[in-house]
């Protein structure tokens, strides 16, 4: 199924919605393209020489803001009638100074990755976003970028947006030991390192998603990766490569697939197939955890797209049991804890999710938000330090109104919960779903979900 854009899902106005239990979910769907890969294809296309053709780009608000930023920085970005996006790049370090502030809306990824790319160019640019993005920490990106020669001209308190950044005239290659396992930090440093002479190295304490490394290689850069300690990695990029435009086919987003997948597990009698889901092991922590909980998820026809593994996933309603999720798995499922907590509430027994400190700095404080979402629907839940503990009772009373907090994944997780709860679950604002998963509501309805 091609991505459907719902006219009702625009961040322009609040739209409440309720989900209630009904019939089993059945069908075969393809969720939209992967968000991480879509941002990166646009940014690397803009820094390459020649044309990049992107098939299956995620046409969500977050990604469209990145496309707009690439235009403002001098790249030509066009969409053909058949849905292919074409980017004519300016070459490494070739960005032009934008006339207006760059507006990234709700997207931390778009904003931070483009900050990295701008930091390696001799231009200044102002970065801004919505009220959620304006609260998010940027110091974690600015620290390494300043070491590479970029400087902050002006910023809101604590180095937050709106923020004006001056890129480095002569960027320095650095060795950066990141204190957090964050693909955004790693990617920002590597993108700035494209313009630096010599080797730029990032050392991460645990492996985070590696789409930037894989795609840099596809565009012709030299990237060396080795293990560092028990779970970490050392990534080195040779600077000043000539990136050559290429073809990118974007696989379906596993973080979006997570919603119909968990819905199919908890709604009795369901059987749903999700086509073309990217299954890069640094993104599939949720699937591994759900299987440990007893979920029936079958992988069909493993193949490759954009240098990434993908497969169709056939999911059947399953009896789930509580498990312990180790902290080391967090980077591979960092965006999936909300919907995992929903699955845990429908499981029998306690689920303990450890090491969730990074959830506090996402689109909302997702640790608190997850606990509140469950509590208001009658589920026993506790936050202990950085751990989340959910008492699964095999059923969820429901009946609650969940606050969206400008966070798309809260809205979708709460609606999934409502599809199997005793009473309906309502969310106050579905508009933010359009930042990552346009067409979520009609797609779920096509599978048989009762959303109104
Ligand atoms: C992303 C990295 C993650 C993730 C975000 C997308 C990316 O953030 O939460 O949704 O595409 O690089 P962190 O790197 O800050 O953990």
Q: Which atom of ligand 1 is nearest to the CA of 335?
A: 9
Rounded Cα distance between 149 and 413, Å, is: 41
Nearest to 280 by CA among 238, 248, 321, 252: 252
- The rounded Å distance from CA 81 to ligand 1 centre is 30
| Cβ(182) – ligand 1 distance below 6 Å | yes
For 138, the token pair is 């940027």
Catalytic residue among 276, 335, 407, 429: 335
Residue 11's pLDDT is what?
A: 42
- The rounded Å distance from CA 23 to ligand 1 centre is 35
- The rounded Å distance from CA 110 to ligand 1 centre is 10
Over residues 92-121, the mean pLDDT reads 98
Residue identified by tokens 């399953």 is 318
Residue 8's pLDDT is what?
A: 37
What end-to-end distance do the CA atoms of the chain give, in Å?
22
| Cβ(183) – ligand 1 distance below 6 Å | yes
Residue 266's pLDDT is what?
A: 98
Calculate the average pLDDT of the chain.
Answer: 96
Residue 234's pLDDT is what?
A: 98
Over residues 250-259, the mean pLDDT reads 98
- The rounded Å distance from CA 314 to ligand 1 centre is 26
Over residues 346-369, the mean pLDDT reads 98
Which tens digit of pLDDT belongs to each residue from 43-90?
999 999 999 999 999 999 999 999 999 999 999 999 999 999 999 999
pLDDT at 39 over 70: yes
Which residues, other chains included, contact 443 with Cβ-Cβ below 8 Å and sequence gap of 6+?
1, 4, 29, 31, 260
Q: Which atom of ligand 1 is nearest to the CA of 362?
A: 9
| Cβ(358) – ligand 1 distance below 6 Å | yes
DSSP 8-class letter at 112: H
Q: How confident is the model at residue 6 (pLDDT cuts 50, 70, 90)?
A: very low
Nearest to 432 by CA among 148, 123, 12, 112: 12
Which residue out of 39, 62, 109 has the highest number of ligand 1 atoms within 8 Å of its CB and is therefore the one to mutate?
A: 109
pLDDT at 297 over 50: yes
Residue 9's pLDDT is what?
A: 38
Q: Which atom of ligand 1 is nearest to the CA of 361?
A: 15
pLDDT at 5 over 90: no
3-state SS, residue 193: helix
Check: CB of residue 123 under 8 Å from CB of residue 167: yes
Q: Is 372 a catalytic site residue?
A: no
Which tens digit of pLDDT belongs to each residue from 409-428?
999 999 999 999 999 999 99
- The rounded Å distance from CA 262 to ligand 1 centre is 21
| Cβ(289) – ligand 1 distance below 6 Å | no
């Amino acid at each position: 199924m091609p991505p459907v854009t719902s006219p009702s899902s625009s961040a322009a106005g609040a739209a409440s919605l309720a989900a209630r239990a009904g019939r089993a979910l059945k069908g075969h769907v393809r969720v939209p393209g992967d968000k991480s890969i879509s941002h990166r294809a646009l940014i690397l296309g803009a820094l390459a020489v020649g044309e990049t053709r992107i098939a299956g780009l995620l046409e969500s608000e977050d990604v469209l803001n990145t496309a707009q930023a690439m235009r403002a920085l001098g790249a030509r970005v066009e969409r053909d009638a058949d849905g292919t996006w074409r980017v004519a790049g300016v070459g490494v370090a070739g960005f032009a100074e934008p006339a207006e502030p760059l507006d990234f809306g709700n997207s931390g990824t778009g904003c931070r990755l483009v900050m990295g790319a701008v930091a390696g160019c001799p231009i200044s640019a102002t970065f801004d976003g919505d009220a959620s993005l304006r609260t998010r920490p940027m110091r974690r990106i600015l620290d390494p970028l300043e070491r590479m020669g970029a400087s902050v001209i002006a910023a809101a308190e604590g180095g937050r947006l709106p923020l004006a950044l001056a890129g480095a005239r002569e960027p320095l290659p650095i060795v950066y030991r990141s204190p957090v396992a964050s693909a955004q930090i790693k990617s920002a440093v590597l993108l700035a390192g494209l313009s630096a002479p010599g080797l730029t190295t990032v050392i991460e304490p645990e492996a985070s998603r590696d789409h930037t490394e894989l795609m840099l290689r596809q565009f012709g850069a030299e990237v060396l990766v080795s293990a560092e300690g028990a779970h970490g990695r050392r990534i080195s990029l040779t600077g000043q490569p000539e990136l050559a435009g290429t073809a990118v086919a974007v696989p379906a987003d596993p973080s979006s697939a997570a919603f119909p997948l968990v819905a199919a597990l908890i709604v009795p009698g369901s059987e749903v197939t999700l086509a073309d889901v990217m299954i890069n092991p640094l993104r599939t922590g949720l699937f591994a955890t759900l299987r440990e909980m007893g979920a029936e998820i079958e992988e069909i026809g493993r193949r490759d797209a954009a240098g990434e593994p993908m497969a169709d996933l056939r999911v059947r309603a399953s009896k789930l049991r509580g498990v312990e999720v180790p902290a080391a798995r967090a980077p591979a499922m960092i965006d999936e804890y909300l919907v995992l907590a929903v699955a845990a509430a429908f499981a029998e027994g306690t689920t303990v999710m450890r090491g969730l400190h990074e959830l506090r700095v996402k689109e909302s404080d997702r640790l608190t938000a997850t606990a509140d979402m469950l509590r208001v629907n009658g589920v026993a839940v506790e936050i202990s330090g950085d751990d989340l503990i959910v008492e699964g009772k095999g059923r969820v009373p429901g009946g609650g109104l969940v606050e969206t907090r400008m966070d798309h994944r809260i809205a979708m997780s709460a609606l999934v919960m409502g599809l199997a709860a005793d009473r309906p679950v309502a969310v106050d604002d579905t508009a933010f779903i359009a930042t990552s998963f346009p067409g979520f509501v009609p797609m779920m309805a096509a599978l048989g979900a009762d959303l109104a």
